[in-house]
Structure 1
Amino acid sequence: MRLSFSAACKQPQPLVNFPGGLINMEPFLPRRRKDKVVVVMGATGTGKSRLSIDLATQFPAEIINSDKMQVYKGLDIVTNKVTEEECCGVPHHLLGFVDPNEDFSSVDFRHHASLAVESIIRRGRLPIIAGGSNSYIKSLINHDIKFQSSRYDICYLWIDVSLPVLHSFVSGRVDRMVEAGLVDEVRSVFDPQADYTRGIRQAIGVPEMDRVFRAESAASNDMSRTRLLELAVDEIKANTCKLASRQFQNIVRLRNHLDQRHMHCLDATDALIKRGNEAEEAWEKLVAAPSAMIVRRFLYEDDFMAAIAAAAPPTSIIGAPTVAVAAATH
């Protein structure tokens, strides 16, 4: 499926000779179609990966990870990377490819993400950028003016969840991560000389375990180690909740710099409150189905408007834009 068309070169502005003089016809002609990009935003735990995969199984799409910690190799439980099974065969880019001891800046992300976007579009597919690191998204969009306004149309899907509900959910998720082996995973990379301000060791879940492992090496008694582990898990939960709150505030600020025509907020609160089949039904009703409808309209709006223009009866040049607008609003 071809999502867009790009002009090979800039054409001279067409002019028509009227009694009052030459009139520039460019505003009345169809504009060059822009390439389409979808961005899925939201705080940690809101379901960004899930939604991006839901969409990519309905449209010919590939996903570009924009999570700061998921770009690194290793610590899959700590960074909550999607599993191969969860990917459902959808290609993912910028996921687990950076050396865990290296720094990966917003500039690095912008470079790699731009290349991935261009590669995906060249193959006639839709890039879906998904992740919680709003500084990466802001860097990609705002630094490169061409990306924001000249070449690409961007549809923003913001998954929002009431913060008290989200805090409860991410706390429960930490418990599930511990059950899945978080402690052993972090122990495998523990280094008493580690710098927790660089690379993957910045991830929530790593610095908090430092005292636990130091106590183990110091042969502390079982009771003190158990208590230190409990305190570490509580700290991981608290820091994850703080991160969710910061991400929410960052999205609110970022929203003011985005194209409001294609900014869509989806409230997933009920989907996190409910359990079992009711949660699945709520997700489909509140998030997945509306998002698919939004993306479908976003992808094919150019074809829709072209069809309206083609179906419009012959009219004067001055009246043509008015006819198209009236038809599009009914």
Structure 2
Amino acid sequence: MIASMVMCKPAQVRQPLNNMPSANSSGGQMLNLTNLNLPCQKEKVVLVMGATGAGKTRLSIDLATYFPAEIINSDKMQVYEGLDIVTNKITKEEQRGVPHHLLGTQNPNSEFTAADFCDMTTLAVESITGRGQLPIIVGGSNSYIEALIDDDDYKFRSRYDCCCLWVDVSMPVLHPYIDERVDQMFNNGMLNELRSFYNPNGDYSRGIRKAIGVPEFDQYFRSEPFRDEETRIKLLQQAIREVKENTSKLAIKQLRKIHTLRNVKRWKIHHLDATPVFRKKGKDANETWKELVAEPSVRIVAEFLYNVNTANVGATLRLPTLATAIATATC
């Protein structure tokens, strides 16, 4: 068996995060792991969880920047082809060259079930680990993740060790951000994207039409040809308001599920509070994200992958140096 994610062979490290010091410029202490005993055990999988808008996608790309990784989407609406703005799919530019799986691959009129997700994700994980890469599963459909990890016969757990990261933002702070994000989606062309997709006979209980943003605009498109401008504007504002409300309700539902997995099912989930990030803007927000979310996550994953206590390395160690040292270590 390929013990891929304990790095029993040299692996290429992606370029470090923007504005982060490189291994050559950090001036930090180089961690020499070549003589450490890194046991080859189960293969490793990282899961990134959180409510919609909290920063799951951003963290997954950050981690894939530090470690040789590929990302598996676990958002049940983003698996479908089309409606990229409505479902808030990560763009090619934002992917930064990191391979993505189960992203915009399914027929939008088909029904992609939890069982389908488990089957296809298992195959993707096998393929990724077979290439010596780290699978990072990221998305907001926590019921799908639960079905994968806690399958009836625990096949997945018997084969893989999982590290769960939870990017959390307090709801009073997240809700206004969700509203802003919906407004930005509208400014980016959501209405035209929905108009070209609209079908008066569409089934809102199946496929991508279940996505928040699709049924909410049904009344607007259905009435658009027959209403005056003032009425159309009111219907449009109502649809946008419903999208915001339903997205906030989804965030609450996602948060409750994470609490259930952590407190009832006793999943070990690492909590990362990103709330202060959302209270800042621009460079200050990016620095706070790096300090409170990105850097702690890299340390958690490094310790998970390589059984190394990074706290003992020294305060001067820079994370790109850490990632470089670890990823080039051999068993």
Normalising by structure 2, we get a TM-score of 0.81
Matched residue of 1:3: which SS?
helix
Residue in structure 1 matched with residue 253 of structure 2 by the alignment: 246
* 1:3 is the counterpart of 2:9: no
Residue in structure 1 matched with residue 215 of structure 2 by the alignment: 207
Q: Please list every run of 5 or more consecutive structure 2 residues that lacks an aligned counterpart in the other structure.
A: 9-37, 310-331
Residue in structure 1 matched with residue 206 of structure 2 by the alignment: 198
What is the alpha-carbon distance in structure 2 between the residues aligned to residue 178 and residue 42 of structure 1? 23
What is the alpha-carbon distance in structure 1 between the residues aligned to residue 204 and residue 270 of structure 2? 36
Number of equivalences = 276
What is the alpha-carbon distance in structure 1 between the residues aligned to residue 236 and residue 305 of structure 2? 49
What is the alpha-carbon distance in structure 1 between the residues aligned to residue 216 and residue 191 of structure 2? 11
Deviation, 1:186, is 0.5
Residue in structure 2 matched with residue 39 of structure 1 by the alignment: 47
Give the conservation status (yes or no) of the 8 Å contact 2:6–2:306.
no
Which letter does structure 1 place at the counterpart of 2:249? K
Deviation, 1:146, is 2.1
Residue in structure 2 matched with residue 76 of structure 1 by the alignment: 84
**Would the alpha carbon gap of residues 201 and 242 (structure 1) be closer, same or farther in structure 2, given more than 3 Å must change?**
same
Give the conservation status (yes or no) of the 8 Å contact 1:35–1:153.
yes
Residue in structure 1 matched with residue 56 of structure 2 by the alignment: 48
Which letter does structure 2 place at the counterpart of 1:118? E
Larger Rg: 1
Q: 1:58-69 maps to which residues of 2 (within 5 A)?
A: 58-69=66-77
Normalising by structure 1, we get a TM-score of 0.81
What is the alpha-carbon distance in structure 2 between the residues aligned to residue 39 and residue 171 of structure 1? 26
Q: Please list every run of 5 or more consecutive structure 1 residues that lacks an aligned counterpart in the other structure.
A: 7-29, 305-330
Residue in structure 1 matched with residue 150 of structure 2 by the alignment: 142
Which letter does structure 1 place at the counterpart of 2:5? L
CA RMSD of aligned residues (A): 1.7
Deviation, 1:5, is 8.7
Deviation, 1:291, is 0.3
* 1:287 is the counterpart of 2:331: no
Deviation, 1:257, is 2.4
Identify which of structures 1 and 2 has the higher relative contact order when contacts are C-alpha pairs closer than 8 Å and 6+ apart: 2
Which letter does structure 2 place at the counterpart of 1:241? S
What is the alpha-carbon distance in structure 2 between the residues aligned to residue 64 and residue 188 of structure 1? 28
Q: After the TM superposition, which segments of 4 or more aligned residues of structure 1 sit over 3 Å from their partners?
A: none
Residue in structure 2 matched with residue 228 of structure 1 by the alignment: 235
Render the CA deviation track for 1:93-113: whole Å, top value 9, x for unaligned: 000000000000000000000
Which letter does structure 2 place at the counterpart of 1:233? I
Render the CA deviation track for 1:50-70: whole Å, top value 9, x for unaligned: 100110011000000000100
Deviation, 1:272, is 1.3
Which letter does structure 2 place at the counterpart of 1:3? M
What is the alpha-carbon distance in structure 1 between the residues aligned to residue 179 and residue 192 of structure 2? 19
What is the alpha-carbon distance in structure 1 between the residues aligned to residue 252 and residue 198 of structure 2? 28
Which letter does structure 2 place at the counterpart of 1:240? T
